[in-house]
């Protein structure tokens, strides 16, 4: 079913299920349960509900008093305070105009009541999480800033331009409806290989699943053991090589490492048969083998990010079980291996939705990147959706030029069999954490066999991989682990250039099962975690030899220049 802005079935179904859960919690019944079905989830905390209703009525009374007192006034105190950090109401009219102040406070009062009401309901935590998420979507969508008639900045601009801003906004809307997705940045401003992904190198290997890029050395001597990076296949690798000033690749090369990068193919329908095992064996494990062969090293250092880290960890467990010790150390960046608390992405996953996907694409087909991109945007709708709706459609302005958002909009498809297996076994059933429950590539998988040194990074504001979930890797791997908690979120927390040395990170030598207890014992260090990571890696990279003038080897000669053609392919 085609929907505007590539809204996937999981999003629509999630809204329906959240509504059904809410109705049941109030003592009603969802559609299909109204006749002959007992209600199992009556309203629980009636005292708390009554208290919320009393507080809400009190808030309405205070707001009414405020309206009367401030009638005709240009400015006055607010009876409902704007939450700290809320940028939607920064315009002067929201403070100086009595009408807009009242409009804003009515919205904030109702928003607070909606969210507090959900928290007061006595219901299953997973259902409450879903209801909490979709209530937030509704609350954020209803902000008065999102409508022409109730946004003073939009009205002012429309007046100044004699309506031309609204006309331009309508043109932008029709263009986005035509292409099927919301424009979040100027997608033509950055060309892959020219403006981003500019580190020099060459493709030294490729198969139907990925290209392997080797980057040119930047130092006269390099570590004998190379660094292999396995990025997420859900996005393109160049988030790690955006521009020279914020390129993790450039940082690693400048620190004397020979860097190899996996560039996943953007699957089309000819790739609809690829499985999870393909990504592990023909992807990560093949890349390890080729990197080691080209460098002539006994072992490689490996980095995995997000689902790339899950793929890498699966490969490491298989290699260890097979007696293969070709990896010297592992670095996992915002990676989940224990999915018991999957964050907001978990609201889209239940037995019914997974089974539906398995029936449609589980045996062959493509999960469209545009749909997955919409899901990720909803996780940060206040930052990624509604500001762009206001800018593009209400104000008629062109989207901003931002390299990170250009990467975010450059979506990738996923093979149906691989996606369905991943969602069921990781998000739904959380099988990877249980030793030998899963068999991949014909080998039982036990993460406890991964006994090599590991650097595990999480970020405190991560909305995709909650840091507490990433922390649980410390109880799954069998080797010595350095856990580091970085500031910011899933992307900005990782791409924190050492040269700028901004933000901070937390470290602690204590090891405990409780993430909160670990955080209580941790020390905050100023600056970028990149510097901490390279210092951690140095002892395993002390053996050096002269950098080679030529990339690749006789067996794997260099081909096309970096970044290669796979990363330039657009999703269907």
Whether the pLDDT of residue 13 is over 80: the answer is no
**pLDDT value, residue 65:** 62
Which residue's entry shows tokens 């405190």? 460
Give the end-to-end CA distance of the chain in Å, rounded to a whole number. Answer: 16
Over the stretch 87-137, which tens digit does the pLDDT of each residue have?
899 889 998 888 898 899 889 989 998 899 888 888 888 889 999 999 999
- Report the C-alpha dihedral over residues 248, 374, 85, 144, rounded to 10 degrees: 160
Under a CB-based contact definition with an 8 Å cutoff, are residues 334 and 458 in contact? yes
Mean pLDDT of 380-409: 92
Domain count, the chain: 2
Domain-ending residue, one of 128, 146, 164: 146
DSSP 327-388: EEEEEEES--S--SS-GGGGGG--HHHHHHHHHHHTTS-EE-HHHHHHHHHHHTHHHHTHHH
Mean pLDDT of 401-428: 95
Is the same domain home to 358 and 447?
Answer: yes
Q: What is the distance between the alpha carbons of residues 228 and 284, in angstroms, rounded to a whole number?
A: 9
Question: Per the structure block, which two tokens stand in for 368?
Answer: 């469209």
CATH number at residue 331: 3.40.50.1820
Is the same domain home to 128 and 228?
Answer: no
Report in angstroms the alpha-carbon separations of 198 from 119, 238, 245, 405. 48, 9, 11, 17
Q: Which comes out higher in pLDDT, residue 82 or 426?
A: 426
HSE, side-chain direction, 13 A CA sphere, residue 420: 24
Is the same domain home to 115 and 264?
Answer: no
Whether the pLDDT of residue 384 is over 50: the answer is yes
In a domain, 512, yes or no: yes
Q: What is the distance between the alpha carbons of residues 286 and 318, in angstroms, rounded to a whole number?
A: 13
**pLDDT value, residue 271:** 96
**pLDDT value, residue 61:** 57
Over the stretch 484-525, which tens digit does the pLDDT of each residue have?
999 999 999 999 999 888 899 999 988 888 999 999 999 999
Q: What is the distance between the alpha carbons of residues 359 and 368, in angstroms, rounded to a whole number?
A: 16
Between helix 9-25 and helix 369-379 the angle, nearest 10°, is 40
Is the same domain home to 336 and 470?
Answer: yes
CA angle at 46 for the pair 43 and 48, rounded to the nearest 5°: 120
In a domain, 430, yes or no: yes
Question: Per the structure block, which two tokens stand in for 40?
Answer: 């199992």
Domain-ending residue, one of 121, 146, 171: 146
Whether the pLDDT of residue 559 is over 80: the answer is yes
Contacts of 85-93 spanning 24+ positions with Cβ under 8 A = 88/143, 88/145, 88/382, 88/386, 89/145, 91/152, 91/153, 93/152, 93/153, 93/156
Report in angstroms the alpha-carbon separations of 167 from 4, 88, 173. 20, 23, 10
Is the same domain home to 241 and 124?
Answer: no
**pLDDT value, residue 75:** 52
Is the same domain home to 439 and 299?
Answer: yes
Q: What is the distance between the alpha carbons of residues 543 and 274, in angstroms, rounded to a whole number?
A: 39
Is the same domain home to 276 and 345?
Answer: yes
Mean pLDDT of 440-447: 98
**pLDDT value, residue 366:** 96
Is the same domain home to 219 and 103?
Answer: no
In a domain, 10, yes or no: no
Mean pLDDT of 331-344: 96
In a domain, 412, yes or no: no
Question: Per the structure block, which two tokens stand in for 25?
Answer: 């919690």
Catalytic residue among 106, 233, 271, 306: 306
Q: Of 17-26, 77-86, 173-182, where does the model show the most confidence?
A: 173-182
Q: Of 15-29, 66-80, 204-218, 361-375, where does the model show the most confidence?
A: 204-218
**pLDDT value, residue 306:** 97
DSSP 219-253: SSEEESS-EEEE--SSS-GGGGGSSGGG-HHHHHH
Domain-ending residue, one of 107, 129, 146: 146
In a domain, 186, yes or no: no
**pLDDT value, residue 542:** 84
In a domain, 359, yes or no: yes
Q: What is the distance between the alpha carbons of residues 435 and 452, in angstroms, rounded to a whole number?
A: 17
User: Sheet holding 504-507: strands in order across?
Assistant: 201-206, 210-215, 259-264, 227-230, 300-305, 327-333, 454-459, 481-486, 504-507, 523-526
**pLDDT value, residue 207:** 98
In a domain, 196, yes or no: no
**Before 563, cis peptide (omega within 30)?**
yes
Range of the domain at 512: 201-364+420-568
**pLDDT value, residue 552:** 97
In a domain, 414, yes or no: no
Under a CB-based contact definition with an 8 Å cutoff, are residues 258 and 545 in contact? no
**pLDDT value, residue 179:** 84
Is the same domain home to 350 and 492?
Answer: yes
Over the stretch 156-168, which tens digit does the pLDDT of each residue have?
999 999 999 999 9
**pLDDT value, residue 86:** 86
**pLDDT value, residue 528:** 97
306 included as an active-site residue: yes
Is the same domain home to 118 and 215?
Answer: no
Residues 6 or more apart whose Cβ sits within 8 Å of residue 359: none
Under a CB-based contact definition with an 8 Å cutoff, are residues 83 and 107 in contact? no
Question: Per the structure block, which two tokens stand in for 216?
Answer: 């040119």
Work out the burial of residue 132: count CB atoms within 10 Å of its CB; fewer than 13 is exposed, 13-18 middle, 19 or more buried.
middle
State if pTM tops 0.85: yes
Q: What is the distance between the alpha carbons of residues 165 and 151, in angstroms, rounded to a whole number?
A: 14
**pLDDT value, residue 72:** 47
Whether the pLDDT of residue 37 is over 50: the answer is no
Is the same domain home to 532 and 429?
Answer: yes
Is the same domain home to 105 and 205?
Answer: no
Biggest CA–CA distance in the chain, Å, is 84
Q: What is the distance between the alpha carbons of residues 559 and 568, in angstroms, rounded to a whole number?
A: 16
């Amino acid at each position: 079913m085609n929907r505007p802005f590539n809204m996937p079935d999981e999003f629509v179904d999630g809204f329906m299920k959240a509504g059904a859960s809410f109705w049941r919690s109030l003592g009603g019944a969802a559609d299909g349960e109204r006749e002959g079905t007992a209600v199992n989830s009556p309203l629980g905390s009636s005292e708390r509900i009554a208290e919320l209703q009393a507080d809400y009525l009190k808030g309405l009374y205070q707001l009414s008093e405020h309206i009367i007192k401030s009638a005709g006034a240009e400015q006055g105190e607010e009876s409902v305070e704007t939450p700290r950090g809320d940028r939607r109401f920064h315009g002067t009219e929201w403070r100086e105009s009595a009408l807009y102040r009242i409009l804003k406070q009515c919205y904030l009062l109702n928003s607070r009541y909606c969210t507090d009401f959900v928290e007061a309901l006595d219901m299953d935590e997973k259902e409450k999480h879903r209801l909490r998420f979709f209530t937030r979507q509704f609350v954020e969508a209803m902000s008065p800033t999102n409508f022409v008639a109730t946004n003073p900045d939009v009205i002012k601009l429309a007046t100044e331009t004699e309506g031309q801003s609204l006309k331009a906004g309508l043109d932008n809307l029709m263009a986005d409806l035509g292409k099927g997705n919301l424009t979040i940045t100027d997608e033509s401003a950055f060309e892959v290989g020219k403006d981003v992904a500019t580190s020099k190198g060459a493709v030294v290997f490729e198969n139907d699943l990925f290209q392997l890029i080797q980057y040119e050395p930047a130092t006269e001597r390099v570590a004998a053991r190379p660094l292999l990076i396995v990025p997420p296949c859900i996005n393109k690798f160049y988030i790690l090589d955006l521009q020279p000033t914020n390129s993790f690749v450039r940082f690693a090369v400048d620190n004397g490492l020979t860097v190899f990068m996996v560039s996943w193919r953007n699957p089309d329908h000819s790739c609809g048969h690829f499985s999870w095992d393909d990504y592990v064996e023909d992807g990560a494990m093949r890349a390890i083998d080729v990197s080691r062969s080209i460098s002539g090293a006994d072992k490689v250092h490996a980095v995995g990010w997000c689902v790339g880290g899950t793929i890498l960890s699966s490969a490491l467990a298989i290699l260890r079980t097979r007696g293969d010790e070709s990896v010297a150390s592992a670095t996992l960046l915002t990676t989940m291996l224990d999915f018991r608390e999957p964050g907001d992405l978990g609201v889209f996953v239940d037995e019914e939705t997974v089974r539906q996907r398995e029936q449609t694409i589980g045996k062959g087909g493509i999960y469209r990147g545009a749909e997955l991109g919409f899901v990720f945007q909803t996780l940060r709708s206040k930052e990624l959706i509604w500001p762009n709706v206001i800018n593009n459609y209400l104000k008629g302005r062109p989207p901003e030029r931002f390299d990170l958002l250009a990467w975010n909009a450059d979506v990738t498809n996923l093979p149906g069999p691989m996606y369905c297996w991943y969602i069921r076994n990781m998000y739904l059933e959380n099988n990877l954490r249980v030793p030998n429950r899963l068999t991949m590539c014909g080998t039982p998988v036990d993460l406890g066999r991964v006994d090599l040194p590991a650097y595990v990074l999480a970020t405190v504001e991560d909305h995709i991989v909650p840091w507490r979930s990433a922390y649980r890797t410390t109880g799954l791997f069998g080797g010595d682990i350095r856990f580091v908690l970085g500031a910011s979120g899933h992307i900005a927390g990782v791409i924190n250039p050492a040269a700028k040395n901004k933000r901070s990170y937390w470290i602690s030598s204590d090891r405990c099962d409780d993430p909160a207890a670990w955080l209580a014992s941790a020390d905050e260090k100023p600056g970028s975690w990149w510097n901490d990571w390279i210092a951690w890696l140095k002892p395993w990279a002390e053996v050096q030899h002269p950098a080679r003038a030529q990339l690749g080897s006789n067996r794997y000669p260099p081909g096309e220049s970096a970044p290669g053609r796979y990363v330039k392919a657009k999703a269907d």
